[in-house]
């Protein structure tokens, strides 16, 4: 894959920093997920320094990721196969692996996603799962929970060189379980922000991505501006896509970048995200994809990476392998 960055083609395998940031998308998100798991639906203390304590709603082991990363893995698998995530083949793979995961009785799964997976059945195609999502939306009148946003990071790796395709793919993958337009658009917006961080090695602004944002671009400008203007603690209603996006963005932009060790921003901003409270693992997973995309996998502490694990029996090195294959940079053993 050739990545267009600042008008110049960059081959990921020839740019160790770019590869590190691509791997960081998966590792940063998984680390945020596992870090936030033990604090989900609590009100953390203002001075909390979060640790990978495990527990939480699913009784997770320390370092174990939750449904956020478990659902990201099938998307990363499809990307690692070199598939266009807009294609029926890719969407069939993701839907089938979602069904595999659900069949194993995960410890924690969102209400919206669980209903869709139940309706879709044991061996659904992507089209069948998306239809199940539409049926759930038609019955309830809403389907913009944060469940599609939490897993969207791997989409960036599949379409790093094409932001238009990235927007289409993010919405197609989101629609497998979340039909409502605002939820699908939120996934696309976040992917665009993560992509900019990866290819530019800089935290993005809305203007950096505005040209590709789907739907009402002024609306999404206002959504991000509100997150920039208000403190992270204002976004405790983060169980839906827009609230979770704002919580994650506010945590990122309101956490100062340390002057001496700027990469420490990843750790500190994840702490900010978790101290918001409520859906802590999901907000931290969303923020972690962008933070990892900016600062790279090398910014994820070794103590976290050493115990990071989860469905389907993967560890941090396996996530790295998926990310490297997704961008055509070869497996870990080749790097």
Within a domain: 55: no
DSSP assignment string, 30-77: HHHHHHHHTTTTS---TT-------BTTTTBPTTB--HHHHHHHHHHH
Within a domain: 57: no
Within a domain: 320: yes
Domain span at residue 84 reads: 3-47+63-334
Within a domain: 182: yes
CATH classification of the domain holding 195:
1.10.4080.10
Within a domain: 198: yes
pLDDT band at residue 329 under the 50/70/90 scheme: confident
Percent of the chain at pLDDT > 70 equals 94
CB 85 within 8 A of CB 73: no
Nearest to 299 by CA among 24, 5, 98: 24
Strand partners, 260: none
pLDDT value of residue 11: 57
How large is the average pLDDT for residues 11-31?
91
Strand partners, 9: 4
Give the whole-angstrom CA distance, residue 153 versus residue 126.
Answer: 19
**Chain segment 182-225, per-residue pLDDT in tens:** 999 999 999 999 999 999 999 999 999 999 999 999 999 999 99
**163 pLDDT exceeds 80?**
yes
Of 35-39, 111-115, 318-322, minimum mean pLDDT range: 111-115
**335 pLDDT exceeds 70?**
no
**Alpha helix locations (H) across 67-125?**
67-80, 88-103, 111-120
Give the whole-angstrom CA distance, residue 130 versus residue 117.
Answer: 10
Within a domain: 53: no
DSSP assignment string, 262-319: GGGHHHHHHHHHHHT-SSHHHHHHHHHHHHHHHH-GGGS-HHHHHH-EETTTEEHHHH
Give the whole-angstrom CA distance, residue 139 versus residue 42.
Answer: 30
Question: In the chain, how many domains are there?
Answer: 1
**62 pLDDT exceeds 50?**
yes
Pairing of strands 8-10, 314-315: unpaired
Nearest to 22 by CA among 155, 181, 166: 155
SS3 (DSSP) at 313: coil
Nearest to 162 by CA among 325, 4, 326, 322: 4
**321 pLDDT exceeds 50?**
yes
**Chain segment 95-144, per-residue pLDDT in tens:** 999 999 999 999 999 889 999 999 999 999 999 999 999 999 999 998 99
pLDDT value of residue 333: 44
pLDDT band at residue 276 under the 50/70/90 scheme: very high
Within a domain: 190: yes
Within a domain: 56: no
For 159, the enclosing helix (H) or strand (E) is: none
């Amino acid at each position: 894959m050739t990545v267009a960055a600042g008008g110049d083609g960059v081959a990921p395998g020839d740019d160790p920093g770019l590869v590190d940031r691509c791997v960081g998308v998966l590792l940063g998100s998984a680390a945020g997920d596992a870090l936030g798991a033990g604090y989900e639906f609590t009100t953390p203390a203002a001075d909390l320094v979060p640790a990978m304590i495990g527990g939480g709603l699913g009784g997770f082991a320390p370092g174990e990721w939750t449904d956020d990363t478990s659902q990201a893995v099938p998307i990363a698998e499809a990307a690692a196969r070199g598939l266009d995530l807009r294609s029926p083949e890719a969407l069939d793979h993701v839907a089938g692996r979602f069904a595999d995961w659900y069949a194993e009785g995960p410890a924690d799964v969102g209400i919206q996603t669980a209903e869709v997976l139940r309706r879709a059945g044991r061996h659904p195609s992507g089209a069948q799962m998306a239809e199940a999502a539409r049926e759930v939306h038609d019955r309830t009148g809403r389907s913009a929970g944060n469940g599609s946003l939490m897993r969207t990071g791997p989409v960036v790796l599949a379409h790093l060189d094409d932001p238009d395709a990235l927007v289409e793919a993010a919405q197609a993958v989101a629609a497998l379980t979340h039909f409502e337009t605002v939820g699908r658009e939120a996934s696309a917006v976040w992917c665009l922000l993560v992509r900019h961080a990866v290819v530019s090695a800089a935290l993005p602004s809305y203007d950096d991505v505005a040209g590709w944002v789907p739907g009402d671009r002024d609306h999404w400008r206002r959504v991000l501006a509100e997150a920039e203007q208000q403190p992270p603690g204002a976004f405790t209603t983060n169980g839906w896509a827009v609230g979770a996006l704002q919580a994650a963005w506010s945590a990122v932009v309101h956490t100062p970048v340390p002057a001496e060790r700027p990469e420490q921003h990843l750790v500190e901003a994840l702490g900010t995200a978790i101290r918001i409270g409520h859906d802590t693992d999901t907000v931290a997973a969303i923020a972690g994809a962008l933070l990892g995309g900016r600062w790279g996998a090398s910014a994820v502490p070794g103590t976290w990476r050493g115990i990071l694990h989860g469905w389907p029996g993967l560890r941090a090195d396996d996530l790295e392998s998926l990310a490297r294959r997704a961008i055509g940079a070869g497996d870990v053993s080749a790097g």
